[in-house]
């Protein structure tokens, strides 16, 4: 169920805001039908989460279409106009580079980049936050970006690095397929971080957009000799703290940080 | 530059005395002019993996039959890491010879870890094979040294750490806990992170304190398979609260579900499973305390309803697991 301000919330209230075939409406339906409780202080917090989840899914699909490729950290590469490659194979935003432009460059010049699956999920998060906040607010909130799986996460998205059991796996969640009997020579196949796109589709860097069976098949092809245990989707999910990020959005709205959206932005249209 | 030791072969002496480029050039010249002598130098028992790695790009496959088996195994591993397509046919054999070759790579190569990124990857694969295929836990102290040395230099520790914890061996924890007393703050930071210890959990004499904790919880400990690919702060190991509550330890460090001995225990387990995680930990810790103090009293305590046990545990201010 969904609760706002401690009261059960009827999603039909939002039937005029979200189209019946929209991702947001799909998520609302799942939340409403859930055995768990999705509790919010305000309607705007809920709408922010829906917007960010939609942007995460869009950013994942867009990354799958880009030429961004897979490489282990020792062989990772990036566009050095925007990023410095670190000694451990991660990418740090280059001094003087504009965060929003650097994130978008990964999409437009994907062929210049290669890294592991977890880092790709981070790229997805940053693109989604950029689309949600707009460049001005995004650049103010994320002046330094470090891209390397879940290490050294920005405090604003730290929670995404700590998967937890959840009542549901919703579009926009980070899932993880574990490969318990991976070939010891290919530890990069020990698991696959994915963005859940729908109830049947996942985006995993290096594998693409596919069903769970496709990801499992990919992982199982990299098991050690004589392995008997299949890869599987774990029941834990990684989520950023949507409420914390919503509060930052509201703070920006108070400061007039989103002039380019006006009232057309879905979040804003629900807020006012 | 260190003075070459008499324990080194000729090629190693050139590397140590004159540097990597000079060693590579000298070998190339010898290889082109006197292949027999070049092979002899490679087959020198004192040759280290580091030197083999440096000269390996020059060594052609036609020479492999004249090389020691461990050298060929090492070259094949380097080729696989470099992604050389021709190496695909040379998949590893799981036998004593390969085990020996991998140990030779690690033992004679770890000191030069960080030579370049491919070298680091070769070392990681050697460690991974030794632990995952040959279950060679004798290498853990050396691997722990490599992890901490890399961390101090800001190098990549992810796959090395993953392989290390795949050992499913409590020594992996003890070796890391030793760094609690390191003078280097980055060592203590990493040790705490790997063992999932908050700054306030252990204060004075923390190494001894951790060892006591480990001894008390060893029978209920299991390795999770979590890694830095999965989470920011993976819990590489955990205590199974169910086993600790029932005081049913196991020799395995992989999680194994408890099979209830009888209907009474099945009921207790069901009630226990309904508790919140924190409550499970409180009850498990209390159970251990009662059992350690008096086994007969513990049996009587276990006969009480779980809710009553929990109230007693909370009343005694039982903390975490």
Distance from CA of A224 to the nearest CA of B (A): 9
pLDDT of res. A263: 38
Beta strand B221-223 with A91-93 is unpaired
pLDDT of res. B85: 47
Q: Is B204 helix (H, G, I), strand (E, B) or coil?
A: coil
Selecting from B132, B229, B231 the residue whose C-beta is nearest the C-beta of A184 gives B132
Entry pTM: 0.90
CA distance linking residue B273 with residue A97, whole number of Å:
52
Average pLDDT for A213-237 = 96
Q: What letter would DSSP give residue B115? A: S
Percent helix, strand, coil in chain B (nearest 5)? 65, 0, 30
A193 part of contact set with chain B, CB < 8 Å: yes
A270 pLDDT tier (thresholds 50, 70, 90):
very low
Selecting from B154, B163, B231 the residue whose C-beta is nearest the C-beta of A161 gives B231
pLDDT along chain B (321 residues), means of 10: 64 95 96 97 97 97 96 96 61 73 97 96 97 96 98 96 96 94 92 81 72 91 94 95 94 89 89 92 92 92 90 74 54
pLDDT of res. B290: 92
What own/partner pairs with CB < 8 Å and gap ≥ 24 does A225-228 have? Answer: A225/A183, A225/B94, A227/A181, A228/A181
pLDDT of res. B199: 57
The reply to whether residue B156 touches residue A163, judged by beta carbons under 8 angstroms, is no
State the helix-helix crossing angle for B295-302 and B306-315, rounded to 10 degrees. Answer: 130
pLDDT of res. B265: 87
Say if residues B171 and B253 touch (Cβ distance below 8 Å). no
pLDDT of res. B43: 97
Closest CA to A102 of A90, A113, A94: A94
Handedness of CA B68, B70, B74, B77 (dihedral sign): positive
CA distance linking residue A15 with residue A8, whole number of Å:
16
**Which token pair is B33?**
């002019």
CA distance linking residue B164 with residue A254, whole number of Å:
50
Average pLDDT, chain A: 92
Distance set, CA A31 to CA A11, A28, A176 (Å): 9, 5, 21
pLDDT of res. B8: 83
Average pLDDT for A69-91 = 97
Residue B199 C-beta-side C-alpha neighbours within 13 Å: 2
Which of A77, A187, A189 to substitute to test the interface with B, most B CBs within 10 Å? A187
pLDDT of res. A262: 41
Closest CA to B97 of B79, B62, B72: B72
The interface residues of chain B toward chain A in range 97-126, judged by CB-CB distance below 8 A, are 117-118, 120-121, 124-125
Closest CA to A68 of A118, A108, A126: A108
- Largest pairwise CA distance in chain B: 85
pLDDT of res. B318: 60
pLDDT of res. B317: 67
CA distance linking residue B14 with residue B108, whole number of Å:
16
Which of A70, A88, A125, A229 to substitute to test the interface with B, most B CBs within 10 Å? A88
Q: Of all helices (H) and strands (E), which one includes residue A202?
A: strand A201-204
pLDDT of res. A271: 36
Q: Is the pLDDT of residue A269 over 50?
A: no
Q: Of all helices (H) and strands (E), which one includes residue A26?
A: helix A23-33
pLDDT of res. B5: 56
pLDDT digits (tens, 9 = 90+) for A243-257: 999 999 877 766 666
User: Closest residue of B to A185, CA-based?
Assistant: B125
CA distance linking residue B299 with residue B291, whole number of Å:
8
pLDDT of res. B197: 82
A218 pLDDT tier (thresholds 50, 70, 90):
very high
Beta strand A114-115 with A69-70 is parallel
Q: What letter would DSSP give residue A148? A: B
Which of these ranges, A3-12, A259-268, B89-98, has the smallest mean pLDDT?
A259-268
Phi, psi of A2 (to 5 degrees): -110, 135
Closest CA to A215 of A184, A177, A163: A177
Q: What residues are paired with A93 via a beta bridge?
A: A83
**ipTM score here?**
0.90
State the virtual CA torsion across A177, A179, A184, A186 in degrees, nearest 10: -40
Average pLDDT for A183-197 = 96
Q: Of all helices (H) and strands (E), which one includes residue A65?
A: helix A43-65
Say if residues A67 and A110 touch (Cβ distance below 8 Å). yes
Handedness of CA A31, A32, A33, A39 (dihedral sign): positive
CA distance linking residue A109 with residue B126, whole number of Å:
35
The interface residues of chain B toward chain A in range 139-158, judged by CB-CB distance below 8 A, are 153-158
Average pLDDT for A151-176 = 96
- Supply the range of the domain harboring residue A49: 2-271
Count the domains in chain A.
1
């Amino acid at each position: 169920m969904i609760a706002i301000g401690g009261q059960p919330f009827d999603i039909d209230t939002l039937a005029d805001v979200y189209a019946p075939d929209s991702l947001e409406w799909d998520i609302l339906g799942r939340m409403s039908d859930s055995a768990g409780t999705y509790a919010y202080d305000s309607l705007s917090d809920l709408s922010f989460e829906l917007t960010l989840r939609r942007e995460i899914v869009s950013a994942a699909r867009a990354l799958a279409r880009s030429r961004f490729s897979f490489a282990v950290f020792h062989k990772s590469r990036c566009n050095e106009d925007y990023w410095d490659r670190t000694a451990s194979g991660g990418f740090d935003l280059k001094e003087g580079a504009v965060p929003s432009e650097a994130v978008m460059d990964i999409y437009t010049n994907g062929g210049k980049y290669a890294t592991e699956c977890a880092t790709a999920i981070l790229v997805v998060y940053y693109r989604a936050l950029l689309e949600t906040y707009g460049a001005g607010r995004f650049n103010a909130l994320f002046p330094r970006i470090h891209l390397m799986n879940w290490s050294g996460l920005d405090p604003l998205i730290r929670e995404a690095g700590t998967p937890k059991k959840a009542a549901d796996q919703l579009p926009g969640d980070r899932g993880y397929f574990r490969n318990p009997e991976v070939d010891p020579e290919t530890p990069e196949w020990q698991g696959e971080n994915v963005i859940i796109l729908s109830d049947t589709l996942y985006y995993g860097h290096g594998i693409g957009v596919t069903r769970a069976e496709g990801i499992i098949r990919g992982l199982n092809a990299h098991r050690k000799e004589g392995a008997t245990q299949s890869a599987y989707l774990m029941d834990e999910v990684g989520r950023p703290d949507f409420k914390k990020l919503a509060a930052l959005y509201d703070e920006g709205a108070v400061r007039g940080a989103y002039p380019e959206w006006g009232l057309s932005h879905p979040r804003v249209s629900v807020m006012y | 530059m260190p003075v070459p030791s008499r324990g080194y072969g000729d090629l190693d002496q050139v590397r140590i005395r004159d540097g990597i480029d000079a060693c590579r050039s000298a070998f190339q010249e010898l290889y082109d002019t006197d292949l027999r002598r070049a092979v002899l130098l490679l087959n020198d028992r004192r040759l280290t993996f580091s030197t083999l790695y440096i000269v390996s790009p020059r060594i052609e496959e036609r020479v492999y039959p004249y090389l020691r088996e461990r050298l060929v195994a090492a070259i094949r591993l380097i080729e696989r890491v470099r992604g050389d397509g021709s190496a695909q046919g040379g998949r590893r054999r799981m036998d004593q010879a390969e085990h020996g070759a991998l140990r030779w790579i690690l033992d004679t190569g770890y000191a030069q870890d960080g030579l370049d990124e491919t070298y680091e990857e070769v070392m990681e694969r050697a460690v991974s094979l030794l632990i995952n295929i040959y279950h060679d836990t004798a290498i853990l102290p050396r691997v722990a040294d490599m992890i901490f040395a890399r961390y101090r230099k800001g190098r990549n520790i992810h796959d090395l750490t993953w392989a290390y914890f795949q050992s499913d061996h409590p020594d992996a924890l003890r070796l890391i806990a030793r760094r609690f007393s390191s003078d280097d703050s980055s060592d203590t930071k990493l040790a705490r992170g790997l063992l999932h210890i908050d700054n306030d959990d252990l204060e004075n004499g923390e190494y001894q304190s951790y060892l006591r904790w480990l001894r008390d919880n060893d029978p209920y400990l299991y390795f999770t398979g979590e890694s830095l690919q999965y989470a920011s702060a993976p819990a590489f190991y955990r205590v199974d609260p169910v086993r600790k509550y029932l005081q049913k330890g196991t020799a395995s460090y992989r999680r194994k579900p408890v099979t209830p001995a009888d209907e009474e225990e099945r009921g207790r387990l069901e009630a226990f499973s309904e508790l919140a995680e924190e409550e499970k930990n409180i009850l498990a810790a209390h159970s251990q305390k009662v059992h350690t103090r008096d086994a007969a009293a513990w049996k009587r305590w276990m006969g009480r309803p779980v809710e009553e046990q929990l109230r007693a545990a909370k009343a005694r201010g039982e903390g975490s697991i």
